[in-house]
Amino acid sequence: MSFWYRSLLVRNALALVALVLVSQAFALTAYLFFVQRPRIDAAALLTASQIATVTRLLAALSETEREQQLLAINGVEQNAVPMVVNESTFPANAVARRFIAQLSSELGSRDQILIGRDESRRIWVRLNVADSHYWMLLAGAPNTIPSLSWTLICLILSVATFPALFAFLIHRPVERFLLRLAHLAGLIERGNWPETMYIKGPRELEMVAGAFNRMASTLQELETTRAEMLAGISHDIRTPLTKLRMVVSAPESVEYPLESAERFIDEIDLIVQQFIDFARGWGSEAATTGDLNGLIERLAQDYAGLGYNFELSLDALPRFPFRPTGMQRLLTNLLTNAAVYGRVGLAVKTRVANGFVIVEVDDKGSGVPEALLPLLKQPFRRGPQSEQRGGTGLGLAIADRIAGQHGGTLKLMPNTPHGFRAKVSLPIV
């Protein structure tokens, strides 16, 4: 029982049935108090007026004529009028009770209205005419109006079943959707990636399905990235780690064992740092207003000390908010990519265009085939030069992610007449 009660369908069906029954009860109450009662009171007032009129008319007749008129009205002689019950006995019908109470109030004496003992329990009125008492039948009095019948009760209960049927028809698609959603979530929990969940129906269900699809896609991408990162770390670290093991185990086989060991350790550290940067991101770093040209100039000086000279062509830029550490990592990755793989014709240009700050990092190396350019921003995708020189394949992916976190974009394109260009567009606002 508790299982069915916890069902959303059962709860809503019960709520709708209760709502219908309560609304019908209120409607019946309003009908009785604001329609039926005024009509009964008006009927009682009219009947009292007619009784007074009949009393006056009978008073103007002789006794024989009175008997004849009352015989025509009652259908029986006065001595054959059914015996009446106790004066305090009222009919069970609520309408008749109301009518008798109002009529008694208008006539001024309740004992003038009595109820017959026969099965019809008709209402009789005692008339005082010329110091004599006569009984007159109230034809059409509402004492025989039935109470709430079983037919009406069954009708009300039948009407109350329709909300349950409608609730089933309305909630059945929702229930099927939720069951399918739970099934797909269970598949994801077990490591299986289901197909995209499509639904045509209410806007809210479409929104939930869309959010679930986006969540599943993101989780699948994260799982794929995690697997690729583990494979990448294992692959990229294995080479310098093997060389480091050789230096440690056989230093006599290397001309400069200490310097070689430090170089291999630096390579391992650089690889690990790239993976950490890719996994971490800078989405939580607070943005501060800064001078982007100043940051580029400092980085260019650092690379000049390493033997890589970048030609700077920096237009005046407005100060705008960006994440300092993230932006430095973005520029460092682009400058490193140009210095390591382009080597010649290194240049950095900045300008403002259409509300965006544009940063271009160029080189005049051998470049990358144009068909591969859209793929280089994907994690672990490497160009032909990086396959020869090593690398994790994460530098441009990290730069693209940081640009997106700033609301900007990273576009890779060939340089003219040859070489490689990375173009970053950052919104000023």
- The full set of domain ranges for the chain reads 2-144, 195-280, 285-427
Q: Is the dihedral of CA 318, 319, 322, 325 positive or negative?
A: positive
Output the pLDDT for position 86: 45
DSSP 8-class letter at 227: H
Q: Which CATH class is domain 285-427?
A: alpha beta
Question: Which helix (DSSP H) or strand (DSSP E) does residue 389 occupy?
Answer: helix 384-389
Output the pLDDT for position 146: 47
Phi, psi of 382 (to 5 degrees): -125, 150
Q: Which residues of the chain have pLDDT under 50?
A: 1, 85-88, 143-147, 388
Query: 145 to each of 95, 110, 149, how far by Cα in Å?
Result: 7, 21, 11
| Token pair recorded at residue 25 | 């009860």
* Strand residues in 109-246 grouped as ranges (E): 113-115, 123-129, 132-137
C-alpha triplet 343, 347, 348: angle, nearest 5°: 135
Output the pLDDT for position 169: 74
The residue whose two tokens read 């002689």 is 77
Q: What gap in Å lies between CA 271 and CA 427, rounded to an integer?
A: 31
Q: How far is CA 310 from the centre of its chain?
A: 53
Q: Which CATH class is domain 2-144?
A: alpha beta
3 state DSSP class of 234: helix
Answer for the pair 142, 93: CB distance below 8 angstroms, yes or no.
Answer: yes
Query: 343 to each of 9, 309, 336, 338, 420, how far by Cα in Å?
Result: 69, 9, 10, 6, 11
3 state DSSP class of 192: coil
Confidence (pTM)? 0.48
Q: What gap in Å lies between CA 311 and CA 350, rounded to an integer?
A: 12
DSSP 8-class letter at 338: I
